[in-house]
């Protein structure tokens, strides 16, 4: 161990401030992705005075189920001055910010290597909890405060650029949605459609991919399963592993992937690269002259997922019926209007892809910076 490594416990202390008098009412939860999120807990009849107050630059963590989840949920409060959180979560702060920056410490907690060490140290049966004593005994390099500020500044510059790109992507996607709504929804009566328009089904717009690709030709960067698709139409994350062998459903740029397990999670993604997906993921291939973004606007609607659930089979883990899904009603505009729509939105889609590619490179740079923390000297 290098000479500048110190135990976490030397620099932090527990905080236990309760919400006496109900002074704070913003309730937060803690996600496995190391972020604070609005709490969805049922608090009816709950004594909120017993909840813990967390203040800006303080941490909350969960030491439960670390081995099972292979991650230690831990987050630094920065967006708000104060909030309340379940009393089940330990809250701690840095003793002296002249010696250790909270942002630098959070960077260390973000490293995948930290989670692996936490998982290794976790005990307590199958789920595996991390004892507080083992957590504070874990070590990290503590360079000079000047060096810490430099590292944090560099890291925050990357993170800020990623967030800015994400905001731009959202605006571009909202613009595409607005154009779709204005051209194909507002003022349209399905009983009296314009000339050259037809009332049809999703099956008139697309088909399922019937191509296969060997797992040996794939990597975690271009393999999609229901596990690495995000809920509520939030896209995808990197796969944690690949199947041991066999093949997968092939998808191409512009195909639309939807998780067919528990459709109510609304997992959908418009592909921007080539790859393969598991059999639990449906791959929709737009037919000739059908723009991907037009099809996506139809499939991402809540009403479509309601349709999928209405025809699903199973109760504990419902699965959509492929034939039923293709019978979802859809308006088929004229070829000329679809062509105009495609010409307009392809510019938006190109900009979206460029921003996503930039964010991918920035994320790789961010991960590289985090990996180098272990070798930081004064």
Q: What is the pLDDT of residues 113-149, one digit of tens each?
A: 999 999 999 876 556 789 999 999 999 999 999 999 9
Sign, CA dihedral 301-306-307-311, equals: positive
Q: Which two tokens stand for residue 120?
A: 């290794």
Residue 105 pLDDT exceeds 70: yes
pLDDT of residue 199: 93
Q: Tell me: the pLDDT tens digits for 289-340?
A: 899 989 999 999 999 999 999 999 988 899 999 999 999 999 999 999 999 9
Instruction: Give the residue among 134, 130, 103, 119 at the shortest CA–CA distance from 8.
Output: 134
- Closest to 268 measured CA to CA, from 310, 238, 311, 297: 297
Mean pLDDT confidence for 226-242: 88
Asked which of 42-51, 244-253, 321-330, 359-368 is least confident by mean pLDDT, the reply is 42-51
Please state, in angstroms and as integers, the Cα–Cα distance from residue 355 to each residue in 225, 267, 346, 348, following that order: 24, 21, 14, 11
The ranges assigned to domains in the chain are: 5-142, 198-332
pLDDT for 275: 96
Say whether pLDDT at 281 is over 70: yes
**pLDDT bucket at 260, cuts 50 / 70 / 90:** very high
pLDDT in tens, 188-211: 888 889 989 999 999 999 999 999
The answer on pLDDT for 254 being more than 80 is yes
pLDDT in tens, 160-187: 999 999 999 999 989 988 999 999 989 8
Q: Which residues contact 87 (CB under 8 A, 6 or more apart)?
A: 18, 50, 51, 52
Cβ–Cβ < 8 Å for 176, 348 = yes
Mean pLDDT, rounded, of the chain:
92
Q: Given this model, what pLDDT does residue 124 score?
A: 63
Contact 209, 342 (CB under 8 A): no
pLDDT of residue 127: 64
Whole-angstrom distance, CA of residue 309 vs CA of residue 178: 26
| pLDDT 10s digits, 45-79 | 678 899 999 999 999 999 988 888 889 999 999 98
The domain defined by 5-142 folds into Adenine-n6-DNA-methyltransferase TaqI; Chain A, domain 2 (3.90.220)
In angstroms, the Cα distances linking 350 to 123, 341, 342, 347 are 49, 14, 12, 5
Buried-state track 94-103, b at ≥16 Cβ within 10 A, e below 16: beebeebbbb
Residue 283 near residue 264 (C-beta atoms within 8 A): no
Write the pLDDT tens digit of every residue in 21-46. Answer: 988 989 999 988 899 988 867 777 67
Domains 5-142 and 198-332 share a fold: yes
CATH topology of domain 198-332: Adenine-n6-DNA-methyltransferase TaqI; Chain A, domain 2 (3.90.220)
**Range in 9-18, 56-65, 163-172, 238-247 the model is least confident about:** 238-247
In angstroms, what CA-CA distances link 370 with 2, 24, 111, 187, 376? 17, 34, 6, 52, 10
Confidence at 1, pLDDT banded by 50, 70, 90 = very low
The number of C-alpha atoms within 13 Å of 121 and in the hemisphere containing its C-beta is 20
């Amino acid at each position: 161990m290098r000479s500048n490594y110190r135990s976490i416990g030397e620099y932090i202390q527990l905080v236990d401030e309760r919400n006496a008098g109900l002074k704070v009412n913003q309730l937060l939860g803690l996600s496995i992705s190391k972020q604070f999120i609005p709490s969805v807990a049922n608090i009816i009849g709950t004594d909120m005075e017993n909840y813990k107050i967390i203040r800006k630059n303080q941490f909350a963590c969960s030491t439960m189920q670390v081995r099972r989840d292979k991650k230690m949920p831990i987050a630094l409060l920065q967006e708000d001055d104060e909030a309340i959180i379940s009393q089940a979560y330990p809250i701690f702060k840095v003793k002296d910010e002249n010696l250790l920056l909270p942002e630098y410490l959070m960077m260390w907690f973000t490293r995948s290597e930290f989670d692996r060490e936490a998982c290794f140290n976790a005990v307590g049966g199958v789920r595996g909890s991390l004892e507080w004593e083992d957590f504070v005994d874990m070590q990290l390099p503590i360079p000079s405060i000047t060096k810490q500020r430099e590292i944090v500044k560099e890291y925050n510059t990357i993170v800020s650029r990623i967030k800015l790109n994400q905001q731009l992507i959202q605006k571009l996607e909202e613009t595409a949605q607005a154009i779709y709504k204005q051209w194909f929804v507002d003022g349209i009566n399905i009983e009296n459609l314009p000339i050259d328009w037809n009332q049809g089904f999703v099956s008139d717009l697309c088909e399922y991919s019937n191509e296969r690709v060997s797992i040996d030709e794939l990597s975690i960067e271009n393999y999609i399963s229901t596990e690495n698709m995000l809920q509520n139409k939030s896209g995808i994350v990197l796969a944690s592993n690949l199947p041991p062998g066999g093949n997968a459903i092939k998808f191409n740029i512009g195909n639309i992937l939807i998780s067919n397990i528990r459709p109510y999670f609304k997992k959908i993604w418009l592909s921007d690269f080539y790859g393969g997906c598991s059999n639990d993921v449906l791959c929709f291939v737009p037919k000739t002259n059908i723009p991907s973004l037009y099809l996506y606007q139809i499939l991402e609607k809540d009403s479509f997922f309601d349709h999928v659930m209405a025809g699903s089979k199973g109760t504990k883990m419902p699965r959509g019926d492929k034939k039923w899904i293709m019978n979802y009603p859809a308006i088929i505009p004229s070829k000329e209007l679809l062509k105009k729509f495609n010409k307009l939105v392809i510019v938006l889609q190109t900009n979206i892809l460029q921003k996503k590619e930039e964010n991918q490179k920035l994320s790789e740079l961010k991960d590289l910076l985090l990996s180098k923390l272990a070798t930081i000297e004064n």
